[in-house]
Structure 1
């Protein structure tokens, strides 16, 4: 056997080997695509898990709200009592620009409200306190609950009508943010943001799934078209 000189062997590129990209802008574009896919997947997964409880709550209550007659149950209670007449007839000057219809300046409103709360365990916020020449009307409201007290200013006697609803009605009121307070209003806002981000990131991710891209986009367009169609029927 004879040795073969190394200089006689020519190196040839492997057949089918990928050639390096000649476009310098390709790498940054690929990096951006990877980052977009990674962040969209991360947000979609963890926001879905974090917001699963509120999304489930608003989904279920959307159904019960749309069919409230299936679940609605209301319990009415009537309460009566007496409070000091001095609280209802305070000798106080009328405020500037008094319209001669609102007599609330002649009433100790805080004392009246606290007595009604403590004596009868009324709950919720005071949404109305109307003071007329001969009587007062105080309204307490919270989700699925209302209590209206009518007070005779001359005698101090009052009657309270309490309406309390079932758990489904309470949840329906929470869904609408009805008499639920500022804290629950933030819950609604945060859940709306989470739901929006979950939807957007899910739509972005479909563009990175080559096998399902066309069918996914087609279903998204179909869903949007159906929503628009039913919207036009609803507002017609």
Structure 2
């Protein structure tokens, strides 16, 4: 004996609902796992950025001056003007002598001086080499761990790898949010307060923006 059409349609609807529930739950928990540490980091640094003036401590400044060895001075004439990386031997010596974050950065070459800026998350650093005398001036300013994490939040001076991480993290957050929205929609019938809470999450920032941000 075959089942009535209405019973068959109801069974198909339940199967479709079950499929979408399983799929959405799977994407939701996978994206939440990917986002977990990043969301915690960005939430905490959101607070520290909002209160940066109260939380950040005094910066620590390290200033040094030294002379290049004679064997490296001919490399100061590798370029006369423009932008180019330091010669490998010169960069290696400076890295060892100063523990400076040279990376593969390009320096600014002029007739009298070589200047290299080395900003990074939570720090600023620079060095200047006098071509005539071979004197190196170096200064590094460290602003502490809070500033370091705040700069990671903003992607400031963090390099391309961190920029890619932020992009992937943002995509995972979008997936997490949208799958959560669809799950809310599927469970809203059994949870009547669902849409009022969602509406509140929309209304509060809009009202604050309209009334208190000028």
Q: TM-score normalised by the shorter chain: which range applies?
A: 0.7 to 0.9
CA distance in structure 2 between the partners assigned to 1:113 and 1:181 by the alignment: 19
Aligned match of 1:61: 45
Deviation at 1:232, TM superposition (A): 4.5
In structure 2, the partner of 1:16 is none
Q: List aligned pairs for 1:18-37, cutoff 5 A.
A: 20-22=4-6, 26-37=10-21
Cα gap change, 1:20 to 1:227, in 2 (>3 Å): farther
How far is 1:32 from its partner? 2.4
Larger RCO (CA under 8 A, 6+ residues apart) = 2
Give the match for residue 62 of structure 2.
77
Output the CA distance in 2 between the equivalents of 1:202 and 1:49. 14
Number of residue pairs the alignment of both structures matches: 207
Larger Rg: 1
Would you say the 8 A contact 2:38–2:169 is kept in 1? Answer: yes
CA contact (8 A) 1:126 1:139 kept: no
Q: Does 1:185 align with 2:170?
A: no
Structure number with the higher helix fraction is 2
CA separation of 1:235/1:131 partners in 2, compared to 1, >3 Å: closer, same or farther? farther
Q: Which of 97, 110, 115 is 1:132 aligned to?
A: 110
Q: Is 1:211 aligned with 2:190?
A: yes
Partner in structure 2 of residue 49 of structure 1: 33
With normalisation by structure 1, the TM-score equals: 0.75
Contact 1:125–1:142, Cα closer than 8 Å, also in 2: no
> 1:95-148: CA deviations, max 9, x gaps?
xxxxxxx3557x954443332212111126455511122112111222112211
Counterparts of 2:86 and 2:182, CA distance in 1:
59
User: Pick from 63, 67, 75: which aligns with 1:87?
Assistant: 75
Of 153-162 and 42-51, deviating more is: 42-51
> Which is worse superposed, 30-39 or 75-84?
30-39
Unaligned runs of 5+ in 2: none
8 A Cα contact 2:83 2:106, kept in partner: no
Distance (Å, rounded) in 1 between the aligned partners of 2:86 and 2:196? 65
Shift of 1:186: 2.5
Paired position in structure 2 for 1:228: 206
- Is the Cα–Cα contact under 8 Å of residues 40 and 204 in structure 1 kept in the other structure? yes
**Alignment RMSD:** 2.7
Q: 1:226 offset after TM fit, Å? A: 2.3
2:118 is paired with a residue whose SS is strand
- Deviations 1:13-52, CA, capped at 9 Å, x for gaps: xxxxxx8343865554433222112222222234323432
